[in-house]
Amino acid sequence: MLSRFKRIGSLNIIICSFVLLFSPVQGAVFNPEVFKLDNGLEVVVIPNHRAPIITQMLWYKVGAADEEVGESGNAHFLEHLMFKGTERFKSGEFSALVAKNGGQENAFTSWDYTAYHQTVAKDRLEMVMELEADRMTGLLLDDEKVLPEREVVREERRSRVGNSPGAQLGEVMRASQFLNHPYRIPIIGWDHEIEALNTETALSFYRKWYAPNNAVLVISGDVTADEIKPLAEKYFGSIPRREIPERKRISEPPQNAARRVIKDSHLVTNPSVTIRYIAPSYRTAENNDAYALQVLDEIIGSGATSKLYKKLVIEEKLAASVGTSYSPNAYDLSTFTLYISPRPDIEIDVAEKRLREELFDLIGQGVTEEEVKKAKTGMVDAAVFARDSLSAAPNVIGRTLTTGGSVEDIEAWPERISAVTPDQINDLLKKLFIENQSVTGILLPTGESK
């Protein structure tokens, strides 16, 4: 997930937290109000009257996986360029107006969506809605604006990837994980392809995908749908719909061999092992499998009460950190990840061996009724805390609606989690954790061979 490089603030931290920890556990408490404009723009309003503040997020159903071959990074590049001005508002004026009025704004790109967001006082909502609607079709670009910004993106890549051994390892692991699918390509793009992006590639992508009938407007805060609807009609309603191409994604072939990627660097101080397996998303899963994988993630690797943490960190004192991660919010496939970083006196191969032993034991023995019940209860109970955050609801809803889900799916999340059974999880353990479908990444300090 990439956001604009030059603005980092408290809102970014909130959003990053939801990007990394996202799960529609929060959905059942949102009670959103939904309507659609005649031009196809979906509008979702989540009333939250705790303070006179509004978060507006405009989501486009397009991301890095929708780019043309050879134009990697184009979706993220356009995200940067969306702040370069229109006929009405000159370059930089968008951000300056939001800041002048006490607000915060930013944007981020994923493989499946691009989102632009602002948080302002309630009486400034109409201003940011007008600004966002204006750049949906009014973006003005030329080489004078585009080419310097291309160098900003290349510098962003150098900073985030070139100076980070972990990011370099992650890129190669992902390229090894997905043999054919565009998820194998970094969101920010490969540098030699970023270097070839230009005004025309950006405008072509913009004209192809940016339209009201390919967007979702989500507003959370001290408002109601009755208040939002006339404003949405006023600023977005006159924008004509466009013919949006079908999202054609290349399918992934069978994976028949385990892959192993090793990266060493003098910048690494804490070695680690990461093991990833292809997993289904909400959209691609059969039955209730995506929800079962969320419960599995909670049981074995989510926090200090998880099985792996209690066993390898607390009891055996072998690991400094250990855990799992799984997010089902992808238009196509997702991954289920296990990771471990050993304590300084423990060799990396010992840590990897113990992690795999715990995984094999889990596959053989399965999870228990008690473990599943406890995890499900904790996950559903956690929903109550999301209602206090203005950014939680639009993030959850935006990601769901841009990856093939619905508001009804979000509202039904507690019910679907509650329906997960130990037998379902135990069947998935055997189907998911297949060695020939895995990628292992080893991160080492320079001089430590593997």
pTM score, whole prediction: 0.92
* Residue numbers annotated as active site: 79
Two structure tokens written together for 221: 């805060």
What string of DSSP letters covers 3-46?
Answer: E-TT---HHHHHHHHHHHH--GGGGGGT--EEEE-TTS-EEEEE
Burial group, residue 3, by CB count within 10 angstroms (0-12, 13-18, 19+): buried
Per-residue pLDDT of the chain (450 residues; tens, 9 = 90+): 665 433 323 333 233 333 333 343 343 568 899 999 999 999 999 999 989 999 999 999 999 999 999 999 999 999 999 999 999 999 999 999 999 999 999 999 999 999 999 999 999 999 999 999 999 999 999 999 999 999 999 999 999 999 999 999 999 999 999 999 999 999 999 999 999 999 999 999 999 999 999 999 999 999 999 999 999 999 999 999 999 999 989 999 999 999 999 999 999 999 999 999 999 999 999 999 999 999 999 999 999 999 999 999 999 999 999 999 999 999 999 999 999 999 999 999 999 999 999 999 999 999 999 999 999 999 988 766 666 667 888 999 999 999 999 999 998 999 999 999 999 999 999 999 999 999 999 999 997 655
CATH number of 259-443: 3.30.830.10
Using alpha carbons, select from 249, 254, 296, 300 the residue that is nearest to residue 404: 249
> Within 13 Å, how many C-alpha atoms sit on residue 133's CB side?
18
pLDDT in tens, 234-250: 999 999 999 999 998 99
Asked whether the domain spanning 259-443 has the same topology as the one spanning 8-235, the reply is yes
pLDDT in tens, 162-215: 999 999 999 999 999 999 999 999 999 999 999 999 999 999 999 999 999 999
Calpha distance 324→340 (Å, rounded): 9
What is the domain partition of the chain in residue ranges? 8-235, 259-443
Using alpha carbons, select from 249, 228, 248, 282 the residue that is nearest to residue 42: 228
Report the SS3 class of residue 450: coil
Two structure tokens written together for 129: 């809605």
CA distance to 55, 343, 398, per residue, from 392 (Å): 10, 35, 10
Query: Please, what's the b/e burial string for 255-288 (b: 16 or more CB within 10 A of its CB; e: otherwise)?
Result: beeebebebbeeebeebbbbbbbbbbbbbbbeee
Q: Which residues contact 54 (CB under 8 A, 6 or more apart)?
A: 119, 120, 121, 122, 124, 125, 219, 220, 221, 222, 223, 390
Q: Does domain 8-235 have CATH number 3.40.50.300?
A: no
